Amino acid sequence: MVSLDLLVTEQLMTLGAVPLACANIPLYQRLVAMPALPPQVVDVGPLQEPNRELLQALRPDLIIGMAWQSFRQDALREISAVAWLPAIDRGTSPFDYIRQQLTGLGARLGRQDQALAANGVLDAAVAAARAGLAPDIRRPVYLVRLVEDGRHAAIFGTRSMIGDVAGHLGLVNAWTGRGNGSGVAAIGIEELARVPEALIIHFDRGAETRRALARLADSPLWRALPSVRAGRIVSLPVVHPSGGVTSALRFVRDVETALKSRTDLHG
């Protein structure tokens, strides 16, 4: 079995179904990371242009990707059976989508019990975190990734995976603007002043985030933000914002750990 997409790879690993190969292993390791891929997994190249000669040599019994990757990939059916998984639709929440996708993959691969168990762990973690956090949190939250130019950020709305999961935890998303198909928008940091009482949660992407924070430290605009002046800034370990059940579980646990000891959440 070969995975051509980061989300699919994560979901397969969550099921304990280690792929023979997958696309762009370095990107998976940087953006997703967990569950970790074992060293024997073969890298078949870019997400949109997998190495067909290598795929032929590997002779997989199944190639799985996302529907957006299917354009001009008819030749893959000469190598193996191919399954293109549908993207989320407007009527499905991201939280439900990743759980349903895991269930569908589990049924296809004979790992229904593993899917049920993983979804159950996520549901239990969400319920426990909500019970512990929701009574104490009155402030809306911005969920952002700081851009290293020190002037912009990627912001995650309620139609993003992490934004939707945050809503299940009882957090109110301060961002009500439009986003792309993944619920993400590019903004200038001045937009973070629109809800002055908000808590800003950002994701630490290592060197990129350190460069962003260094530039922001010299930014009068950033220093003037009410949330910044009041110290309402929370850093979380990076989580793939379009990830699956394991990414969602990591986010839940990271949020619970970061917020449960704060005393400035009442607004």
Is pLDDT at 100 greater than 70 in this prediction? Answer: yes
Domain containing 43 equals 2-87
Domain boundary among 55, 87, 119: 87
**Are residues 237 and 172 part of one domain?**
yes
pLDDT of residue 267: 59
**Are residues 233 and 147 part of one domain?**
yes
- Tell me, what CATH number does 15's domain have? 3.40.50.1980
Cα 249 off chain centre by: 10
**Are residues 139 and 80 part of one domain?**
no
The better pLDDT of the pair 48, 120 is held by 120
What order of strands is seen across the sheet that includes strand 141-146? 184-188, 152-156, 141-146, 199-204, 233-237
**Are residues 139 and 82 part of one domain?**
no
**Are residues 142 and 47 part of one domain?**
no
| Count of structural domains within the chain | 2
Tens-place pLDDT, residues 127-147: 999 998 877 777 899 999 999
The 10 Å Cβ neighbour count of residue 50 is: 24
pLDDT of residue 137: 78
The verdict on residue 121 lying in a domain is: no
**Are residues 141 and 240 part of one domain?**
yes
Is pLDDT at 69 greater than 90 in this prediction? Answer: no
Is pLDDT at 187 greater than 90 in this prediction? Answer: yes
**Are residues 252 and 147 part of one domain?**
yes
**Are residues 156 and 82 part of one domain?**
no
Phi-psi label, residue 33: left if phi above 0, alpha if psi -120 to 50, beta otherwise: left
pLDDT of residue 26: 96
Tens-place pLDDT, residues 106-134: 999 999 999 999 999 999 999 999 998 87
The verdict on residue 123 lying in a domain is: no
The verdict on residue 239 lying in a domain is: yes
pLDDT of residue 65: 95
**Are residues 245 and 155 part of one domain?**
yes
The verdict on residue 251 lying in a domain is: yes
**Are residues 146 and 82 part of one domain?**
no
The verdict on residue 122 lying in a domain is: no
The verdict on residue 124 lying in a domain is: no
Domain boundary among 31, 59, 87: 87
Q: What φ, ψ does residue 145 adopt, rounded to 5°?
A: -115, 120
Report the candidate in 21, 13, 53 with the shortest Cα–Cα distance to residue 40.
Answer: 21
The verdict on residue 39 lying in a domain is: yes
The verdict on residue 103 lying in a domain is: no
The better pLDDT of the pair 92, 263 is held by 92
Q: What φ, ψ does residue 199 adopt, rounded to 5°?
A: -95, 135
Report the distance separating Cα 145 and Cα 156, nearest Å: 8
Report the distance separating Cα 213 and Cα 39, nearest Å: 34
**Are residues 251 and 139 part of one domain?**
yes
What order of strands is seen across the sheet that includes strand 21-22? 42-43, 21-22, 2-3, 62-66, 81-85
- How confident is residue 153, by pLDDT bands cut at 50, 70 and 90? very high
